[in-house]
Amino acid sequence: MREPRPGIAWSRQRLRRRAAYVTWMTSAAWLAHRRQWHAAWVAHYGEPPRCVSCGEPWALRHGDLHHRTYDHLGAERFAELVPLCRPCHARLHRVIESSPAWRKLDRPRATDAAIALLRRHAHGARP
């Protein structure tokens, strides 16, 4: 867990949330949750997930799941987790953290808009 820099006010609530996030994302329960999520995807769509940005096959072993929201951390609902390959996930975060305009969108809206942007790039279009 990154320590807050001096002079930057990390609220107690933010520190608590950050600690809860690290605990959950490194737990065996999270790995089990990922497996359940994957099984639910296959049951729902009838095929394994692909990266929602570039369309590459998404593997349970090393694929990332982006949180559209942290509202149910530890009990994420199916649609709150978005399958992304690692490079696309890194690109998504670069976009949503790139400017104050992006940062002030709520997380679900920022996620959806950033994925739409990445998809346009993936298909060769340039804004």
Q: Which segment (12-20, 23-31, 37-45, 48-56) binds Zn ion by CB under 5 A?
A: 48-56
Q: Write the CA distances from 8 to 84, 85, 121, integer angstroms.
A: 31, 32, 35
Among 37, 53, 96, 115, binds Zn ion (CB under 5 A): 53
Name the token pair of 34: 């990922």
SS3 98: coil
Q: Which segment (18-26, 36-44, 63-71, 94-102) binds Zn ion by CB under 5 A?
A: 63-71
Establish if 85 lies at the interface with Zn ion (CB under 5 A): yes
Q: Which segment (2-10, 41-49, 66-74, 100-108) binds Zn ion by CB under 5 A?
A: 66-74
**What single letter denotes the amino acid at residue 38?**
H
Among 66, 76, 91, 96, binds Zn ion (CB under 5 A): 66
Establish if 51 lies at the interface with Zn ion (CB under 5 A): yes
Q: Pick between residue 23 and residue 50 the one whose CB is nearest to Zn ion.
A: 50
Binding residues for Zn ion, rule: CB under 5 A, are 51, 53-54, 66, 85, 88
